[in-house]
């Protein structure tokens, strides 16, 4: 027994050190850290830790101890949650959907604005716990009532579960606004990353749902808005920048949409796009819509790969407007509420926001756009993490607060 304990005491740290060294090597071989990004060393260290944690999760999954997403969620949900004495925080369920309600304790003589928040995490990670501090910050700074939706995720749930959960929670909340002290004329849908995609899709669905109050505004923070064109300038320029690389993005997307990863290259090269569909959607999806100031010297114009019919048949649901809200019809776009769009320069999804900005503006929808030149995907989550925070993190949080305060 003593020998076994000795092996464990010596072997476990050695094993963990080996995994960490692998993560560091992988980071330096694959990751790109822009020289103009503030605090590049901090970002390198954090990316190494992220790779280390994911590697441990994959090992535990192969050993059938727990799934990798479950391990990651265990780690990030163990982060400290700030308790604020000025807020009332209530955990509830809307049917089977867990939600968290944030309300100011102070009594208000008027109904407050409402925020419905959908968290990010690529359908793998993220939770109401991980985004708790951000939601508390939004409520404190804007004196609003906020509902954070805890939708179901991978590996057990695939599309369209996120949309269904978020939509059902949204409709139930909208039908009971005055119960929570919310002004029906001042409700904002807000989401980050895949949560931004949920917010965009739900806004489009609610256009044809007259039985609920009309949404006042949509706040989309570094959202993914289409799963069709992966040849945009930002996909070329930012494919290896943490924390959302091209490999992670396509892996998350395929897993959630139940697409076999063997079709990965066909999707990335545009070989799944039939010519007639490209002719139809090019006016909305083409790189030609991206201002030239966002093109680098190495950026190449789209050149779709040779059409692969088998790949198209396996992936054709990417043309559904629920999955790619950027390609919905003009009539629907024109009825959408005003929008705040936040993009980050060092984000592989940057150009999705730029394309949606043009779509909204072309149909007369008022758009407030903020581009964070030193920002990267996921920076918002770090806004209050002390030494882990970046200047761009607080910048994005303050942009959202200022916009919501203006409503």
47 and 70 together in one domain: yes
30 and 116 together in one domain: no
124 and 183 together in one domain: yes
CA distance 95 to 56: 34
Q: What is the DSSP letter of 125?
A: S
CA distance 250 to 227: 9
Furthest CA-CA distance within the chain: 74
25 and 100 together in one domain: no
177 and 151 together in one domain: yes
Tokens in use for 155?
């590996």
Is residue 347 flagged as an active site residue? yes
SS3 231: coil
Q: What is the DSSP letter of 240?
A: T
DSSP element (H, E) containing 187: strand 182-192
Contacts of 403 (CB under 8 A, 6+ apart): 217, 219, 340, 368
Looking up tokens 């396996």, which residue turns up?
A: 314
Q: What is the mean pLDDT of the chain?
A: 93
73 and 90 together in one domain: no
Picking from 11, 45, 77, the residue at the C-terminal end of a domain is 77
Q: What is the mean pLDDT of each run of 10 residues along the chain (407 residues)?
A: 61 84 94 88 93 92 87 79 90 94 93 97 92 96 97 93 97 96 97 98 95 96 98 97 96 96 97 97 96 89 92 98 97 98 98 98 98 96 88 96 97
Tokens in use for 355?
């394309």
What separation, in Å, do the N-terminal and C-terminal C-alpha atoms of the chain show?
67
156 and 137 together in one domain: yes
The number of domains in the chain is 2
Question: Do you know the residue count of the chain?
Answer: 407
Task: Give the range of the structural domain holding residue 299, as residue numbers without chain letter.
Answer: 86-407
Contacts of 247 (CB under 8 A, 6+ apart): none
CA distance 336 to 360: 8
Q: How confident is the model over 116-132, as pLDDT tens digits?
A: 999 999 998 899 999 99
| Percent of the chain that is helix, strand, coil (3-state, to 5) | 50, 15, 35
Picking from 52, 77, 102, the residue at the C-terminal end of a domain is 77
Q: How confident is the model over 215-250, as pLDDT tens digits?
A: 999 999 999 999 999 999 999 999 999 999 999 999
Instruction: Tell me what pLDDT residue 73 has.
Output: 83
Contacts of 105 (CB under 8 A, 6+ apart): 85, 86, 87, 88
Picking from 77, 98, 120, the residue at the C-terminal end of a domain is 77
Catalytic residue among 132, 235, 370, 377: 377
303 and 394 together in one domain: yes
Residue of 126, 122, 127 lying closest to 91 (CA atoms): 127
DSSP notation for 132-179: HHHHHHHHHHHT-EEEEE----TTT--TTHHHHHHHHHHHHHHTTGGG
Is residue 377 flagged as an active site residue? yes
Catalytic residue among 136, 144, 193, 393: 193
278 and 358 together in one domain: yes
CA distance 87 to 172: 22
Q: How confident is the model over 221-230, as pLDDT tens digits?
A: 999 999 999 9
Q: Any idea what the CATH number is for the domain that residue 110 is in?
A: 3.40.50.1820
Contacts of 19 (CB under 8 A, 6+ apart): 52, 55, 56, 59
41 and 96 together in one domain: no
62 and 137 together in one domain: no
Contacts of 388 (CB under 8 A, 6+ apart): 42, 46, 382
Instruction: Tell me what pLDDT residue 7 has.
Output: 60
38 and 140 together in one domain: no
Catalytic residue among 27, 343, 347, 352: 347
CA distance 152 to 196: 16
């Amino acid at each position: 027994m003593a020998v076994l304990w000795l092996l464990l005491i010596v072997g476990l740290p050695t094993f963990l050190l080996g995994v960490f060294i692998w993560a560091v090597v992988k980071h330096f071989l694959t990751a790109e850290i822009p020289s103009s990004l503030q605090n590049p060393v901090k970002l390198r260290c954090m990316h190494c830790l992220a790779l280390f944690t994911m590697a441990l999760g994959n090992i535990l999954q192969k050993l059938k101890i727990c799934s990798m997403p479950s391990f990651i969620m265990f780690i990030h949900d163990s982060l400290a949650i700030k308790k604020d004495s000025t807020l009332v925080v209530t955990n509830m369920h809307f049917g089977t959907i867990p939600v968290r309600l944030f309300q100011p304790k102070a009594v208000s003589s008027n109904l407050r604005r409402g925020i419905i928040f959908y968290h990010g995490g690529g359908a793998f990670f993220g939770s109401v716990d991980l985004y708790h501090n951000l939601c508390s910050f939004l409520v404190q700074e804007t004196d609003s009532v906020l509902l954070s939706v805890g939708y179901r995720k991978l590996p057990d749930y695939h599309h369209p579960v996120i949309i269904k959960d978020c939509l059902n929670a949204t409709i139930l909340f909208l039908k009971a606004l005055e119960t929570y002290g919310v002004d029906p004329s001042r409700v904002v849908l807000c989401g980050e990353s895949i949560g931004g995609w949920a917010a965009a899709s739900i806004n489009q669905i609610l256009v044809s749902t007259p039985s609920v109050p009309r949404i006042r505004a949509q706040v989309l923070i570094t959202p993914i808005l289409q799963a069709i064109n992966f040849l945009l300038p930002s996909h070329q320029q930012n494919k290896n920048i943490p924390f959302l690389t091209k490999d992670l993005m396509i892996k998350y997307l395929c897993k959630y949409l139940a697409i076999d990863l063997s079709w990965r290259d066909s999707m990335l090269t545009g070989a799944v796009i039939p010519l007639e569909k490209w002719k139809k959607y090019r006016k909305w999806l083409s790189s030609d819509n991206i201002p030239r100031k966002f093109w680098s010297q190495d950026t190449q114009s789209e050149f779709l790969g040779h059409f692969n019919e088998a790949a198209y048949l396996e992936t054709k649901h990417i043309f559904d407007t629920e999955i790619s809200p950027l390609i919905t019809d003009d009539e629907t776009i024109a009825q959408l509420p005003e929008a705040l769009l936040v993009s980050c320069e060092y984000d592989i999804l940057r150009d999705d926001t730029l394309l949606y900005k043009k779509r909204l503006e072309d149909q007369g929808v008022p758009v407030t756009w903020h581009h964070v030149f030193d920002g990267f995907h996921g920076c918002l989550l770090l806004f209050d993490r002390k030494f882990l925070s970046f200047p761009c993190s607080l910048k994005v949080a303050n942009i959202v607060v200022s916009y919501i305060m203006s409503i």
